[in-house]
Amino acid sequence: MSKMSASAPDEPSTPKVGTQPYRSMNHPAAKVRLAAVHEIAQQARQNQDHAALRLLTEALNDADADVRVLAASQLGQLQCEEAYQPLIACLKDGAPNVRIAAAEALGRLGNSDAIAALEPLERDADRSVQTVAERVIDTLMKTLT
């Protein structure tokens, strides 16, 4: 899969007004926002919709940890390079599952610059976070050789 970019010079900077998944991102129920993240990721995958990638990146700041986890995972699968810095910020999230998803997504991006940001997670209070960080760092180190 080719790496996707969240910005395109010929694309409008805002999503199509009135489409259900985009409107659902502001819904008060987390399960509705989760479904919207899934639909938006599908749209990004099928149409290389750059507005969708921006919404997924914004979802990394959602109030619900499950929404943040899904957004990070989808951005990693889509290899959205513009999500690099927001994913780095998620490594400090209070929810261990968000830190794990962000670390895995950074691993999928394949940017060895992430190693320095991932190293503190090797000492994380959560053992699962430590394990994932160690694995992702090992994988990224192999890309350097």
Q: Name the CA dihedral angle for 49, 140, 87, 123, rounded to a multiple of 10 degrees.
A: 160
pLDDT of 22 reads: 76
pLDDT of 23 reads: 84
Mean pLDDT of the residues in the chain:
88
Residues in a beta bridge with 4: 80
Give domain limits for the chain. 20-144
For each successive 10 residues of the chain (145 residues), what is the average pLDDT? 44 44 88 95 88 94 98 97 97 99 97 96 98 98 84
The rounded distance, in Å, linking the Cα atoms of 107 and 72 is 11
pTM for the model stands at 0.85
pLDDT of 106 reads: 98
pLDDT of 47 reads: 85
| CATH class of the structural domain 20-144 | mainly alpha
The rounded distance, in Å, linking the Cα atoms of 54 and 6 is 6
pLDDT of 19 reads: 61
Nearest to 68 by CA among 79, 81, 83, 82: 83
pLDDT of 2 reads: 44
